[in-house]
Structures are given as structure tokens and as C-alpha cells.
């Protein structure tokens, strides 16, 4: 099943140039965009003198993000000998700063920076510019020694007219059930990990059913996570050019996963 889905994407990108796909995807604007959350993420290395007290300075320089909560990393250790035991530890690694309307979250952590925009998502330019402003504030406080990973991710919720749906009418990347089995699905989840060697990136495509908002729809989550962990930029201009490239590819992946019937729903 996974090989078939990967081949669909490869077929599209081989038939049309990547530049053509990204240009066409960029031109599309959906008035009912299904994005429930958009994310820009930068993982970094910081020098040893950067502490939680250093990160706390972000609360002073970003007054338009007045609410602050702790970010904690939980880790579970399991031992099987002489008997099964488990211990869970937690570590305070940063702060989540939330805008007044609750729709924007700036994460400042000891391992990096993340900007989350919750629905309604307006457009890429506004999202990118706010992420860049917040990243510059994080940079001035922490002075990262290296960038380890960059990512653009969007989580989309597609509410398809139901209560019964033929997924092939709306999606081009779907699970295929053997014809020898019943064809009804109460739920599903799949993850495809697809290398994108032309841009030195990876695509993690997560797709599955979600609880519907009302009985007359079938809700599907389409989670597109694009990231690069090698050949990373060493200056600001190159960093934001990379984000533009990942954004363009994200758009083409989304378009490759949906059909015209879905476009009509969100147009």
C-alpha cells in the first residue's frame, strides 16, 4: 500500500517539473482553507550558558504574547529484569507564550523555537512574517550555535459529505483494502515517510479519520510535515529561502493528495 502511494507522488513530480507544481500550488487560494494548525519549527544547539532564566526574557520582549506556560519533556524508562518496572521523569525545557486571542503560540525552548498558528489560518505571508519576527527575538536572546533541523508543517481537517464516503472521490492518497475484505472503515490511520532528495528533505504524511463535527460528515486529518536535517543554512537569508521552498513543496503535496471534489468543498 505504501509503495503505491509513494509511486503516485513520484509520478506527479516526474510528469511535471517541481517548479511547475510549486508555482501552480502557490497560485491556489482557498476561502475555506482546511488548515487547523500551521507550524514553523527550528531545532538548534545552544551554548551551555543559555538557561531557563535566559528563555524567560522572551516574556519581556514579546508583550503581545502575555500568557506563559511551562513546556516539559516527559521520558519513561522501562526495565524488564528482574521484574517489569517503569519510571517517568520530566524536565522543564522552555516556555509556551500565547497571544491575547489564543490563536498564536511561540515556543522558546532549550532545543529550539516553534511558532504555531491555529485556525483561522489567513495566508502564508502573514504566518511567515510573524514567525520571522518571533524567531529574531529568540535569536537575540539565545544566540544559537547551530541549526539542526527546520520544518514546515500543516494539519488539515477535511470534512467530507457523509455519512458514507468513497475516499477515492476526495483523496488521491488513501488506504487500499483488499477486495476480499469488507470495504467499510470505521476508522484508519496511516503514515508515509517519503524522501524528497531534490530538496534534501523528508515528507512525513499522516492521514486518518477524526471524530466528525456532526453526523452528516466524515472528517479526515491530512497532516503534512516537511523537514530538513542536513545541508542546513548558515545565514538568515538562506534560512528563510529554505522555508519558502518547504512551503512551496507543502502546497504541491497537498494538491497531489486531493481531488477536484475536495477543491470544490474548500474553494
Residues with Cβ < 8 Å from 22, sequence gap 6 or more?
Answer: 248, 249, 251, 252
> Residue 24: which pLDDT band, with cuts at 50, 70 and 90?
very low
pLDDT band at 23 (very low <50, low <70, confident <90, very high): very low
pLDDT, one tens digit per residue, over 237-248 is 999 999 999 999
User: Which residues have a Cβ under 8 Å from the Cβ of 223 and sit 6 or more positions away?
Assistant: 153, 154, 155, 156, 204, 205, 206, 207
Residue 91's beta-bridge partner residues?
Answer: 73
Element (H, E) at 80: none
pLDDT by residue (tens digit) across 110-156?
999 999 999 999 899 999 999 999 999 999 999 999 999 999 999 99
Contacts of 129 (CB under 8 A, 6+ apart): none
Nearest residue to 191 via CA among 167, 222, 162: 222
Cα–Cα distance between 3 and 183 in angstroms, integer?
A: 20
**For 70-124, how does the pLDDT look when each residue is reduced to its tens digit (9 = 90+)?**
999 987 777 776 777 777 889 999 999 999 999 999 999 999 999 999 999 989 9
Per the structure block, which three cell numbers stand in for 77?
524508562
The per-residue pLDDT for 75 is 78
Residue 197 or 213, more confident: 197
Amino acid at each position: 500500500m505504501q509503495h503505491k502511494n509513494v509511486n503516485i507522488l513520484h509520478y506527479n513530480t516526474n510528469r511535471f517539473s517541481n517548479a511547475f507544481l510549486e508555482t501552480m500550488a502557490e497560485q491556489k487560494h482557498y476561502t475555506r482553507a482546511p488548515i487547523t494548525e500551521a507550524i514553523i519549527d527550528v531545532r538548534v544547539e545552544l551554548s551551555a550558558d543559555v538557561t531557563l532564566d535566559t528563555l524567560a526574557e522572551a516574556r519581556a520582549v514579546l508583550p503581545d504574547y502575555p500568557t506563559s506556560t511551562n513546556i516539559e519533556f516527559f521520558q519513561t524508562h522501562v526495565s524488564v529484569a528482574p521484574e517489569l518496572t517503569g519510571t517517568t521523569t520530566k524536565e522543564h525545557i522552555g516556555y509556551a507564550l500565547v497571544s491575547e486571542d489564543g490563536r498564536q503560540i511561540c515556543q522558546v525552548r532549550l532545543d529550539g523555537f516553534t511558532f504555531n498558528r491555529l485556525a483561522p489560518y489567513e495566508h502564508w505571508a502573514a504566518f511567515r512574517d510573524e514567525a520571522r519576527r518571533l524567531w529574531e527575538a529568540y535569536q537575540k536572546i539565545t544566540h544559537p550555535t547551530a541549526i539542526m533541523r527546520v520544518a514546515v508543517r500543516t494539519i488539515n481537517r477535511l470534512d467530507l459529505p457523509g455519512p458514507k464516503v468513497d475516499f477515492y472521490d476526495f483523496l488521491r492518497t488513501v488506504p487500499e483494502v483488499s477486495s476480499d475484505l469488507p470495504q467499510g472503515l470505521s476508522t484508519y490511520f496511516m503514515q508515509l515517510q517519503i524522501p524528497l532528495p531534490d530538496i534534501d528533505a523528508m515528507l512525513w504524511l499522516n492521514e486518518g479519520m477524526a471524530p466528525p463535527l456532526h453526523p452528516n460528515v466524515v472528517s479526515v486529518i491530512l497532516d503534512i510535515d516537511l523537514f530538513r536535517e542536513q545541508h542546513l543554512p548558515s545565514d538568515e537569508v538562506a534560512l528563510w529561502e529554505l522555508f519558502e521552498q518547504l512551503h512551496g513543496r507543502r502546497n504541491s503535496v497537498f494538491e497531489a493528495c486531493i481531488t477536484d471534489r475536495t477543491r470544490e468543498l474548500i474553494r
